Amino acid sequence: MSDLKSELAPRGALRVALNMSNFLLVTANPTGGPPTGIVPDLATEIAKRIGVAIEWLPHADAGLVAEGSKGDINEDAWDVAFMGAEPARAGRIGFTAAYVEIEATYLVRAESPIHTVQDVDQPGVRIAAATRAAYTLYLARTLRHAELVTADALEGSFRLFEERELDALAGLKPRLLQDQARLPGLRLLPGRFTAIQQAIATPAGRPAAFEFLRAYAEEIKADGTVARLIAKHGVRGVTVAGAG
């Protein structure tokens, strides 16, 4: 346990980085108290198991969380995070298998000739997306013809899509359903271009911490904890990931 504590909470408390843009998994407490949601519940249990206090570190998006990992236990800005397991981030961060999945797709205008996710990747098609989001990193890696146009934060990508009349808005399905309700005349494309694998993360170079988190991620899927938390918080659009 001493090796685990020295790696998982090297400064005495478990420093948990929160991606506040992922409203499905974490919500700021309007009273100023601890955050609520699936992620805070899971993180609180980790701190309880190793017998340390917890420190919440909110970030505007997952990219800023990733930037807080330097791969050096003396430099890292956080100890544990819950974020999309993207290859572009794997050099500095150790990811467990996913504990939940969230589908990503597109919104288009009603009159658009685009009808499937496969139709999107064509020359001349411009896609609005949030800078540093896991699905944006995926698109940057996989698109062959369409142009990716990014803006800071989810709201910024929606405004970009609306004001510049771009061809598609990329995003997580639950958020896109909200955006669809805000702007008349939009269609949600069926299917998905990817499913974001939300994993538990710790900076690279912490083998004991990683092994503990890897086992924890499998346990909470197998024993129904993740499913119970999804139901407890009334989250729609999130499913329990398969076994790692």
197, 84 contact by CB (below 8 A) = yes
Where in 85-243 does DSSP place strands (E)?
93-95, 100-109, 126-130, 147-151, 168-172, 186-188, 194-203, 238-240
Q: What percent of the chain has pLDDT over 90?
A: 75
Kindly give the confidence (pLDDT) of every residue in the chain, 244 residues in length, as a single tens digit, with 9 standing for 90 and above.
668 999 999 999 999 999 998 888 999 988 888 999 999 999 999 999 999 999 999 998 888 888 766 655 556 789 999 998 877 777 789 999 999 999 999 999 999 999 999 999 999 999 999 998 889 999 999 999 999 999 988 899 999 999 999 999 999 999 999 999 999 999 999 999 999 899 999 999 999 999 999 999 999 999 999 999 999 999 888 999 985 5
Q: What is the pLDDT of residue 69?
A: 63
| Residue reference for tokens 């669809």 | 180
Identify the pLDDT of residue 74: 56
- Cα–Cα dist 11/179, whole Å: 41
Contacts for 59 with CB less than 8 Å, ≥ 6 apart: 17, 18, 19, 20, 65, 68
Place of tokens 């369409």: 146
Residue 62: its pLDDT value, please?
81
User: pLDDT, tens digit, for every residue of 151-177?
Assistant: 988 899 999 999 999 999 999 999 999
| Spatial distance between the Cα atoms of 73 and 187, rounded to a whole number of angstroms | 46
Instruction: Kindly report the average pLDDT of the chain as a whole number.
Output: 92
